[in-house]
Amino acid sequence: MKMKKPIIKPSENKCPECMGAGYVSAKHPTRPGVKTYTVCKECKGKGRLAAD
Residues forming contacts to Zn ion in the complex (CB under 5 A) are 15, 17-18, 40, 42-43
Compare residues 2 and 13 and give the one whose CB is closer to Zn ion. 13
User: What is the Cβ-side half-sphere exposure of residue 20, based on CA atoms within 13 angstroms?
Assistant: 3
CB 51 within 8 A of CB 25: no
Contact by Cβ (8 Å): 35, 23: no
Question: Shortest gap between Cβ of 1 and Zn ion (angstroms)?
Answer: 44
Q: Which is nearer to Zn ion, 27 or 31 (CB)?
A: 27
**29 or 39: whose CB is closer to Zn ion?**
39
